[in-house]
Structure 1
Amino acid sequence: MPMKSLKTADVKNKTVIARVDLDTPLGKDSSGNIIVRDDYRLQRILPTIQWLASHKAKTVVIGHLRRPKGWDKDKSLLPVAQTMADLLKLKFIVIDEKVERLPHYDIPHVFFFAEDFRAEKSKRLLKDLNPGDIAVLENIRFYPEEEKDSEKFARELASLGEIYVNDSFATVYHANQVSIMRLATLLPHYAGFELEKETKILSQVLATPERPYLMMIGGVKLSEKLAAMSGILNHCDSVIVGGGIATLFYLAQGYEVGKSLAEKSKIVEAKDILRNYKSKIHLPVDVVVARSPEEEKSIRVTKPDEVSPEEMILDIGPETIKKYSEIIREAKTVLWSGPMGLFENKHFAHGTKALGRLFASRSQGLSFGIAGGGDTLAAIKMLGVGEDIDHLSTGGSSMLQYLSGIKLPGIEVLKD
């Protein structure tokens, strides 16, 4: 059963709770104010928010930012809501303890509710929204109940609206979050346009990828990636490995990896993957190491089995770049998840840059290119090749799990 599309919903004059992806990178301007550094994820949810506003819905936006412990002003959604209003070209007003009445205007506004939505004043003001208005609630993870599957909290949140829309692909793999799961069971529910787009494209890759189908995997989020990697290996033809994933496989083979980042608790799992899919997995034949990222004079290229206890593996080597480039050129579908090394440091960015540029240059024609995950998208932004790639997924873990064939709970709950 497919998810119900938002286009089929009657939202006029109704209050719609929209769960979207607001987890954007933040920074500070010259005055020390916290600002959004990259509005890419906000750009992706605009079609859903704009559609709701144009169809005269009263939209209550909920989302998260990072993993706060309680009400942490450094993880407030205030700058994110401000940027959303700027992108929508709407006036922005903060509703805080000083505001007792919701101002009304002839044109829609974006209101940021800085206080607890459960307060009587907040509930009263939210009911006073005009059709077309957009209210952004404070970081949903400020509430510990959000990640405890609290039914009471879910009902309090659901009482704010009449319809629920999920447009946050990045979070649909979570099974215990109220705003992803519980709300969909309490209200008529629909999939937003970004969620629909993600699942449509990834479903095609999962079912009928053009072959050879290659996966490029790196980065350091080993726990999440290893679990999905086994599933994807059942579907793809080959995998080229870098980053912390490669280091873990070296450990599984008994190699010395020195001070390299690696989750030793995952060695058994890595051994199983190597044993079951050995013919599909390509590991680096040379690596770039150093005593630390800061010790430039200690940088050298060596074979994977010749790393000293004092060194760290920080990038793939030139021979590996050459070998991996040949494999990429033969592929017709390429999935990229995770950098090949410590790309934030120019001395260890060569692998990520070389393969990233090649990956992008072959997309939209010679192969179908998909990339996802925060570090991967950051590397793509650094290279300036985002527009060349067929599909950039906003969800790293969700993308990998979906392409491994795992049923994602936040999607399944929208299907009934």
Structure 2
Amino acid sequence: MQIRSIENVEIKNKRVILRTDFNVPLKGNKIQDDFKITRAFATIEKLLNDGNQLVIVSHLGRPSGKRVKALSLAPVAKFLSLKLKDVKIRFVTEKLSRDLVKRINKMEERIILLENMRYEKGEDKNDQQLAKLLADCGDVFVNEAFAACHRAMASMVAITKFLPSYAGLNLAHEYKYLTKSLSPQKPAIAIIGGSKIETKINFIKKLSKIYDAVLIGGGLANTLLFAQKYEVGASLYDKDYLKLAKTLLRLKNVVVPMDVVISDSKMLRVRVADVGNNKSLCNKQEKIFDIGPKTMKHYADFIKISKFILWNGPMGLFEQKKFSHGTMVVAKAIGARAKGKAIGIAGGGETLYAIDLAKSGKYYDFISGGGGAMLEFMEGKVLPGIKPLLKK
């Protein structure tokens, strides 16, 4: 199905409710990573250039209806003012009310940023009264918050009952590329890493039906190795999901590491162990921190012959340089293949950080800003935030 997007409709001289995902990491009042904010700039600039006034809405953290000072959008307001110097911006900190709506409708600033929507008790309940209040602040609704589309929130789902609703530029691209990833050009591979198998088991099962191979790394691989009765010592793995891990091992196109990088708890002594007949990979004090060199080459060989590559999750503890090699090999190998010989797509917070460290982001066809939303979309679910935007 196609999605209604601002790319395909003329929205001019309107007051637009723009739902963004400015849920950025903060340290005090300083933004640590502005990726989610700058990702929305293309949509913001298009709407402003078409003469619209914007009422920008976002959430930050999980204040659960309470006004938690540390989760204020004040740092975001400051960031927007610095980056959009020629645009008048007003930051509204008050609780949403009928009186505030009347005043918002009289404001003349080109951008009005509302305070954290999760300060409102009805936001996470998809409350229609809250959504109607918000809808009365504008003429049109635009959703540019793909990463939150798997949550039914008043400012994202219920509001669509009251206003004409469209996808922002980036959300439309998310939908386009992730839809492609559900029917990829062959040969196609998926590379899945990260720590918890519980959040990705259905994702991996779905991919195994679509992709020629699903290559596993990170803590997920540790769990699969433990399910094969390898001794993984103090490594990160999900012991509560061993039965489910064994179901993945029965899938012929799920590929586990051929060798792993192991170290002690202080990360002083590093060694490589083959995954073979000897089940004693680690002693009790050791941990697996990365895929080994044979696996790196093996995975790179898969990438070299593929026409479609999907990546979600690091191969190891890439934040530590000595254990970053597996993740960096994957990041750079996909970058070398994408935008030409293959379509290369990646997603997930840690994956984005790894691609940034590898300085290879510009070589990917698309990088998804969604974590949980991407996983649920790829599992075949119709996300609550996407459903109202689909053309009937």
TM-score w.r.t. the length of structure 2 is 0.90
Q: Which residue of 2 aligns with 1:76?
A: 72
Task: Return the match for 1:123 from 95, 101, 106.
Answer: 101
1:223-261 residue CA offsets vs partner (Å, 9 max, x unmatched): 332222211221111011111111221233233333222
Question: Residues 289 and 68 of structure 1: is their aligned pair in 2 closer, same or farther, counting only changes over 3 Å?
Answer: farther
8 Å contact kept, 2:205–2:248: yes
| Matched residue type, 2:50 | H
1:142 and 1:348 map into 2 onto residues whose CA distance is 40
Task: Return the match for 1:194 from 167, 170, 173.
Answer: 170
Q: Which residue of 1 aligns with 2:60?
A: 65
8 Å contact kept, 1:235–1:404: no
8 Å contact kept, 2:19–2:56: yes
2:200 and 2:35 map into 1 onto residues whose CA distance is 23
**Matches for 1:30-179 after TM superposition, within 5 Å:** 34-69=29-64, 70-90=66-86, 108-118=87-97, 120=99, 122-130=100-108, 133-174=110-151, 176-179=152-155
Task: Return the match for 2:258 from 252, 276, 285.
Answer: 285
Secondary structure of the corresponding residue to residue 71 of structure 1: coil
Between 234-243 and 144-153, the greater mean CA deviation after superposition: 144-153
Q: Which residue of 1 aligns with 2:19?
A: 19
Secondary structure of the corresponding residue to residue 234 of structure 1: helix
Between 3-12 and 135-144, the greater mean CA deviation after superposition: 3-12
8 Å contact kept, 2:101–2:133: no
Question: Cα offset for 1:86?
Answer: 2.8
Q: Which residue of 2 aligns with 1:98?
A: none
RMSD over aligned CA atoms reads 2.2
Q: Which residue of 2 aligns with 1:330?
A: 305
Q: Identity percentage over the alignment?
A: 37
Instruction: Check if 1:254 corresponds to 2:254.
Output: no
Question: Cα offset for 1:339?
Answer: 0.6
Question: Cα offset for 1:211?
Answer: 1.6
2:234 and 2:67 map into 1 onto residues whose CA distance is 36
Q: Which residue of 2 aligns with 1:299?
A: 270
1:129-150 residue CA offsets vs partner (Å, 9 max, x unmatched): 22x6111112222334322233
Between 385-394 and 137-146, the greater mean CA deviation after superposition: 137-146
Report how many aligned residue pairs link the two structures. 386
Q: Which residue of 2 aligns with 1:359?
A: 334
Structure 1 ranges of 4+ moved more than 4 A: 7-13
1:230 and 1:374 map into 2 onto residues whose CA distance is 21
8 Å contact kept, 2:123–2:155: yes
Between 249-258 and 228-237, the greater mean CA deviation after superposition: 249-258
Question: Cα offset for 1:9?
Answer: 5.1
8 Å contact kept, 1:229–1:400: no
8 Å contact kept, 1:287–1:301: yes
1:12 and 1:391 map into 2 onto residues whose CA distance is 28
Question: Residues 320 and 80 of structure 1: is their aligned pair in 2 closer, same or farther, counting only changes over 3 Å?
Answer: same
Between 391-400 and 165-174, the greater mean CA deviation after superposition: 391-400
| Matched residue type, 1:56 | G
Between 219-228 and 184-193, the greater mean CA deviation after superposition: 219-228
Could you list the runs of 5+ residues in structure 1 that have no partner in the other structure?
Answer: 28-32, 91-107
Question: Cα offset for 1:11?
Answer: 4.4
8 Å contact kept, 2:217–2:316: yes
| Matched residue type, 1:89 | K
**Matches for 1:233-244 after TM superposition, within 5 Å:** 233-244=208-219
Question: Cα offset for 1:186?
Answer: 2.6
1:193 and 1:232 map into 2 onto residues whose CA distance is 26
Question: Residues 344 and 264 of structure 1: is their aligned pair in 2 closer, same or farther, counting only changes over 3 Å?
Answer: same
Could you list the runs of 5+ residues in structure 2 that have no partner in the other structure?
Answer: none
Question: Residues 303 and 119 of structure 1: is their aligned pair in 2 closer, same or farther, counting only changes over 3 Å?
Answer: farther
Between 281-290 and 72-81, the greater mean CA deviation after superposition: 72-81
8 Å contact kept, 1:237–1:280: yes
1:170 and 1:221 map into 2 onto residues whose CA distance is 19
Instruction: Check if 1:216 corresponds to 2:191.
Output: yes
TM-score w.r.t. the length of structure 1 is 0.86
1:384 and 1:161 map into 2 onto residues whose CA distance is 40
Question: Residues 354 and 13 of structure 1: is their aligned pair in 2 closer, same or farther, counting only changes over 3 Å?
Answer: closer
1:288-340 residue CA offsets vs partner (Å, 9 max, x unmatched): 22332xx1324332245322222222111122112222222121111110110
2:196 and 2:81 map into 1 onto residues whose CA distance is 33
Secondary structure of the corresponding residue to residue 288 of structure 1: strand
**Matches for 1:374-385 after TM superposition, within 5 Å:** 374-385=349-360
1:368 and 1:7 map into 2 onto residues whose CA distance is 22
Secondary structure of the corresponding residue to residue 410 of structure 1: coil
1:77-126 residue CA offsets vs partner (Å, 9 max, x unmatched): 22222222333333xxxxxxxxxxxxxxxxx4111112323373x33431
